[in-house]
A and B are shown apart, each in its own frame.
Chain A
Amino acid sequence: MTSLTELTISEALDKLRARELSSVELTQAHLAQIERYDPHVRAFITTTPELALAQARAADAAYARGEAKPLQGIPLAIKDVLSTEGVETTCASKILKGYKPIFNATAVQRLLDAGMVMLGKVNMDEFAMGSSTENSGFFATRNPYDLARVPGGSSGGSGAAVAARMAMGALGSDTGGSIRLPGAFCNLAAVKPSYGRVSRWGLIAYGSSLDQAGPMTRTVADSARILQVIAGHDPLDSTSMPAPVPDYLAVLAQGVKGLRIGIPQEYFGEGLQPEVEQAVRAAIAQLESMGATVQEVSLPHSKYSLPTYYIIATSEASANLARYDGIRFGAKVDRGDLWQTYKATRGQGFGDEVKRRIMLGTYALSAGYYDAWYGKAQAVRTLIKQDYDEAFKHVDVLCAPVSPTTAFKFGDNTADPLQMYLADVMTISANLAGICGMSVPCGFDAAGLPIGLQILAPAFAEDVLLRVGFAYEQATQFYKQAPRLLAD
């Protein structure tokens, strides 16, 4: 019998529903996996084994009663950017140490309502600012495919936990690529939903106009299952879309015959690791062989997406992070005097990257600079969105690499923040445009590191995205290649 931790969510649900397996067994297997591997991988900030087992017992009792909610008894991990009632939620920042929210994020609540077993909260770049999880205020998470390398970021804990089979799936969040990049680095199916598809209530804000929570799993079908549960309008989030959610599982197997795929030429230029380009081009050829048509398209404003993003996201962050003053929640460095307390709390509580982005955003919004920076960035954002609108008149999806390279080594990009920012160059514009995107495993480089195929689809066309991802995944099955770590 294969190990319980090798099961996909779909497989586990079949066994749970058939009563061949209990959620308690499944949960215990994952808790054991965490105990064994997490000391090496360091994905979890907080584990909640007692809560998980209680939820597993409740799931088993529900199965015994004949209930079968969509994710009943499935052990998942939650990125520590999502609020969990009564469970410490830190955003991997010292400034939120000890903070236990009094409410659940809507995405979390919907998973709980669907029967999720919550294993714990996973690591990330502090406040989701970073591409390697090295910016965590607590510790770095390692890539299960090579412990000397980063898992990507900012949802690196989510990626590593799922890749190391410590959780069957995880929620991540994506502001500029933070789901897709660790998805690619950790050989996962990982979906960044369209802006407005998943409620942001309880998702602790970094860049409010860009943030979206989404699933990270080993298979596309598993992501579809999670997305099905968390998607949909929420009256608590005015930016969530009041539109019906399609049945994602039902469309998965419809194939790609006749589907039009666009290849954005700007994504295949200089700086692309040759193995990444080969793998992605091979993936596109594969899709073509399955009946899709392929054409080149242009996204002429792509080159401005990085600076545009770093103005808009940091401006929003400079306001979003103003509330962390140590007075009402989280960690406080008391200096008696209020302003000294503010300064000490924020000075010690925030890491360097967070401070850098708060300063960038504060500057961009300053009187006299607003028009030149924030105003201009918003104008360019519109142009970037129009590029996609134009492209999607001709094609149904776009295919590109997720990242120019495979997972890099710890410290490789930390000396120069700009170098680190470049890791997101291929993912960022989807957030600016509000469209949806995903990463699907499409091979490995010579060092055995995973490569991700990025698929982009118009806003609220997650069904198309998943269909393409599923067809490709079923044809290639790269997802089955487990990390070396697990073979040791």
Chain B
Amino acid sequence: MSKWKTIIGLEVHAEMLTATKMFSACPVVDSVEAPPNTATDPLSLGMPGTLPVINHEAMTYGLMVGLALHCEIPPFNQFARKNYFYPDLPKGYQISQYEHPLAVNGFLDIELSDGSSKRIRIRRAHMEEDTGKLTHVGDGSLVDYNRAGVPLLEIVTEPDIFSSEEAEAYARKLRAILQFLGVNHGDMSKGVLRFEANVSVMHESDSAYRTRTEIKNLNSIRSMVRAIDYEVQRQIELYERGDTVKPATLGWDEAAGRIIIQRYKERPDEYRYFPEPDLPVVQMSREWVEEVRARLPELPDKKRARFVEQLGLSAYDAMVLTLDKAVAQYYEEVLAHGVPAKSAANWMTGDIFRLLNDHKIERENIASIAATPAHIAKLIQLVESGQINANTARKDVLPLVWAEGQDPEAIVKEKGLAQVSDEGALAAGVAQVIAENADMVQSYLGGREQAINALFGKAMSMFKGKANPAIVKSLLQAQLDALRNV
């Protein structure tokens, strides 16, 4: 066991995907798709004389997240100016919240691979505006202000995360919650959701935290995990050879798989926060908070519990089916066609997830595949009703449904894949297999029980795999038993 413990706090910036920006009527657009600087207005550009006006929808979205994270909602919150010069910040200050955030003292329970769960405390969540986006080209930089002013919720944990695995579980769970709430689609490659990890290590003999570093530019959860592992190792190695860790802002180079030190922090950042004089204090009436609470959709934890309690799924299946809103939605649509919940869960977590993996499709994009929930439900019904066997369904039908979105019933009909369940025909076939494989039969009767599997395989291939395997199995057993008793 290592003498070192990892301490992580995560800061998450989640854009609230409202129709318009945080403080003006300028539309919010997809910052990857939209041509640069086409979604701007005088306020987004920081033109003199412009004034912010609070977007009520954005505050509602932020409130939804705060409530979903079990936060307290103080009776009022207040915007503040965070001052710093940077070309992506057109006003020279960011309107954020400081002393009086929207939400405080919440928590998020995460599930770990050993089946345990852990509570990560949320220190605060506050509303702010996003900055523009810089692209470095040659000897200069280009600025795109489409993103400037997009509502942003910053969610900060306590340093309760002790491994990259826990960080990953937190990130995935939080992303699922944002998706379930419909406030953020969770596509990290588009920068709508950004994680920053504050990492330090603690020796078993320590009684206080050591210096932490801050890792930025994490474009995926996978990158975050790799970056944390790398940074923890780097810090331990520094300490073990007698060096110290200096406070620093770090970047992660995904291609090279290593940490880049962006700048050392000589002293704490000086942002000269003060209350935003252009905006009133935001009063959070109890009526508003309770109305939003009442309208919260079913969130991952609740859905997961329902899947276990009402549908009888295993804890693991229930968890993976609720990690992405799109997956849960897909699964529930399959169920809506009246198929057994457990079979549907098996198909989802087995064959469908494998195909997604093979085709490198993120689970959250499941809605984009050709096979519809109706198709998958039909496929399951064909198996359940004995019209095809599971193997045929998996090997012959599903690939066509997957690739071309064909109707499973039509495939079965067209390819003649319907299962043979006629006992007379099957009994004759089994008898023939027994007759033609005397040595295997002898071996079985002599005590080599597994020889029955070979005989079963021969019988199945005689019917080109379409035989009802359960019937074949019982016929084979019966005929062999009959021989034994002779």
Residues of A with C-beta under 8 A to B279:
238-239
- Are A319 and B49 in contact, with the CB atoms below 8 A? no
Pick the most buried of A91, A235, A328, A362: most chain B CB atoms within 10 A of its CB: A328
Kindly report which residue of chain B lies nearest to residue A91, judged by CB atoms: B48
* A83 CB-CB contact with B under 8 Å: yes
Residues of B with C-beta under 8 A to A321:
92
Q: Report if A236-B51 is in contact (Cβ < 8 Å); known contacts: A323-B90, A327-B87, A328-B46.
A: yes
Residues of B with C-beta under 8 A to A91:
48
- Please measure, in the bound complex, the distance between the C-alpha atom of A487 and the C-alpha atom of B339, giving whole angstroms: 99
Q: Report if A366-B272 is in contact (Cβ < 8 Å); known contacts: A103-B42, A323-B90.
A: yes
Pick the most buried of A323, A324, A328, A367: most chain B CB atoms within 10 A of its CB: A323
Partner among A238, A239, A316, A342 whose Cβ is within 8 Å of the Cβ of B85: A342
Report how many A-B pairs have Cβ atoms within 8 Å.
100
Partner among A202, A237, A322 whose Cβ is within 8 Å of the Cβ of B92: A322
Residues of A with C-beta under 8 A to B83:
318-319, 322, 365
- Are B48 and A200 in contact, with the CB atoms below 8 A? no
Partner among A101, A236, A325, A365 whose Cβ is within 8 Å of the Cβ of B48: A101
* A102 CB-CB contact with B under 8 Å: yes
- Are A236 and B53 in contact, with the CB atoms below 8 A? yes
Residues of A with C-beta under 8 A to B48:
83, 89, 91, 96, 99, 101, 204-205, 323-324, 329
Taken residue by residue from 100 to 127, chain A's Cβ proximity to chain B (1 for < 8 Å, 0 otherwise) reads as 0111010000000000000000000000
Residues of A with C-beta under 8 A to B50:
201-202
- Please measure, in the bound complex, the distance between the C-alpha atom of A91 and the C-alpha atom of B49, giving whole angstroms: 11
Kindly report which residue of chain B lies nearest to residue A200, judged by CB atoms: B51
- Please measure, in the bound complex, the distance between the C-alpha atom of A321 and the C-alpha atom of B85, giving whole angstroms: 11
Q: How large is the interface on A (under 10, 10 to 19, 20 to 34, 35 or more residues)?
A: 35 or more
- Please measure, in the bound complex, the distance between the C-alpha atom of A327 and the C-alpha atom of B268, giving whole angstroms: 28
- Are A365 and B272 in contact, with the CB atoms below 8 A? yes
- Are A101 and B51 in contact, with the CB atoms below 8 A? no
Residues of A with C-beta under 8 A to B277:
208-209, 239, 316
Residues of B with C-beta under 8 A to A148:
none
> For residues 288 through 336 of chain A, which have their beta carbon under 8 Å from a beta carbon of chain B?
315-316, 318-319, 321-325, 327-329
* A374 CB-CB contact with B under 8 Å: yes
- Are A365 and B54 in contact, with the CB atoms below 8 A? no
* A282 CB-CB contact with B under 8 Å: no
- Please measure, in the bound complex, the distance between the C-alpha atom of A237 and the C-alpha atom of B277, giving whole angstroms: 11
> For residues 368 through 396 of chain B, which have their beta carbon under 8 Å from a beta carbon of chain A?
none
Kindly report which residue of chain A lies nearest to residue B52, judged by CB atoms: A238
Residues of A with C-beta under 8 A to B273:
365, 370
- Please measure, in the bound complex, the distance between the C-alpha atom of A338 and the C-alpha atom of B375, giving whole angstroms: 58
Kindly report which residue of chain A lies nearest to residue B81, judged by CB atoms: A319
- Are B93 and A319 in contact, with the CB atoms below 8 A? yes
- Please measure, in the bound complex, the distance between the C-alpha atom of A204 and the C-alpha atom of B91, giving whole angstroms: 13
Residues of A with C-beta under 8 A to B87:
325, 327, 338
Q: Tell me the smallest distance from the CB of B221 to a CB of chain A, in Å.
A: 33
- Are A102 and B274 in contact, with the CB atoms below 8 A? no
* B356 CB-CB contact with A under 8 Å: no
* A263 CB-CB contact with B under 8 Å: no
Q: Report if A318-B272 is in contact (Cβ < 8 Å); known contacts: A99-B48, A200-B51, A329-B47.
A: yes
Q: How large is the interface on B (under 10, 10 to 19, 20 to 34, 35 or more residues)?
A: 20 to 34
- Please measure, in the bound complex, the distance between the C-alpha atom of A370 and the C-alpha atom of B45, giving whole angstroms: 29
- Are A366 and B49 in contact, with the CB atoms below 8 A? no
Kindly report which residue of chain B lies nearest to residue A369, judged by CB atoms: B272
- Please measure, in the bound complex, the distance between the C-alpha atom of A204 and the C-alpha atom of B42, giving whole angstroms: 13
- Are A237 and B272 in contact, with the CB atoms below 8 A? no
* B278 CB-CB contact with A under 8 Å: yes
Q: Report if A205-B93 is in contact (Cβ < 8 Å); known contacts: A238-B54, A238-B280.
A: no
> For residues 126 through 156 of chain B, which have their beta carbon under 8 Å from a beta carbon of chain A?
141
Q: Report if A239-B280 is in contact (Cβ < 8 Å); known contacts: A325-B85, A329-B47.
A: yes
Q: Tell me the smallest distance from the CB of B483 to a CB of chain A, in Å.
A: 90
- Are A202 and B53 in contact, with the CB atoms below 8 A? no
- Are A322 and B47 in contact, with the CB atoms below 8 A? no
Pick the most buried of A105, A204, A236, A362: most chain B CB atoms within 10 A of its CB: A236
> For residues 353 through 370 of chain A, which have their beta carbon under 8 Å from a beta carbon of chain B?
362, 365-367, 370
- Are A367 and B92 in contact, with the CB atoms below 8 A? no
Kindly report which residue of chain A lies nearest to residue B93, judged by CB atoms: A319
- Please measure, in the bound complex, the distance between the C-alpha atom of A160 and the C-alpha atom of B49, giving whole angstroms: 24
- Are B46 and A365 in contact, with the CB atoms below 8 A? no
- Are A365 and B51 in contact, with the CB atoms below 8 A? no
Residues of A with C-beta under 8 A to B362:
none
- Are A239 and B272 in contact, with the CB atoms below 8 A? no
Partner among B42, B53, B85, B141 whose Cβ is within 8 Å of the Cβ of A235: B53
* A41 CB-CB contact with B under 8 Å: no
* B270 CB-CB contact with A under 8 Å: yes
Taken residue by residue from 80 to 96, chain B's Cβ proximity to chain A (1 for < 8 Å, 0 otherwise) reads as 01010101001111000
- Are A367 and B270 in contact, with the CB atoms below 8 A? yes
Q: Tell me the smallest distance from the CB of B48 to a CB of chain A, in Å.
A: 4
Partner among B52, B91, B278 whose Cβ is within 8 Å of the Cβ of A323: B91
* A203 CB-CB contact with B under 8 Å: yes
- Please measure, in the bound complex, the distance between the C-alpha atom of A366 and the C-alpha atom of B83, giving whole angstroms: 11
Taken residue by residue from 209 to 246, chain A's Cβ proximity to chain B (1 for < 8 Å, 0 otherwise) reads as 10000000000000000000000000111110000000
Partner among B45, B141, B268 whose Cβ is within 8 Å of the Cβ of A328: B45
Residues of A with C-beta under 8 A to B270:
366-367
- Please measure, in the bound complex, the distance between the C-alpha atom of A32 and the C-alpha atom of B358, giving whole angstroms: 82
- Please measure, in the bound complex, the distance between the C-alpha atom of A366 and the C-alpha atom of B271, giving whole angstroms: 8
Residues of A with C-beta under 8 A to B51:
200-201, 236-239
- Please measure, in the bound complex, the distance between the C-alpha atom of A208 and the C-alpha atom of B279, giving whole angstroms: 10
- Are A238 and B91 in contact, with the CB atoms below 8 A? no
Taken residue by residue from 35 to 59, chain B's Cβ proximity to chain A (1 for < 8 Å, 0 otherwise) reads as 0000000100111111111100000
Residues of B with C-beta under 8 A to A235:
53
Some 20 contacts from A to B, beta carbons below 8 A apart, are: A83-B48, A96-B48, A102-B42, A102-B47, A201-B50, A205-B49, A238-B278, A238-B279, A238-B280, A239-B51, A239-B279, A316-B274, A319-B272, A325-B85, A325-B92, A328-B45, A328-B90, A342-B85, A362-B272, A366-B270
For the complex with contacts A99-B48, A238-B54, A365-B272, 4 further pairs of A-B residues with Cβ separation under 8 Å are: A201-B50, A319-B81, A338-B87, A365-B273
Residues of A within 8 A of B (CB): 82-83, 89, 91, 96, 99, 101-103, 105, 200-205, 208-209, 235-239, 315-316, 318-319, 321-325, 327-329, 338, 342, 362, 365-367, 370, 374
What are the 10 A-B residue pairs with the smallest beta carbon separation, nearest first? A322-B92, A365-B272, A209-B277, A208-B277, A202-B49, A204-B48, A83-B49, A323-B46, A204-B49, A323-B92
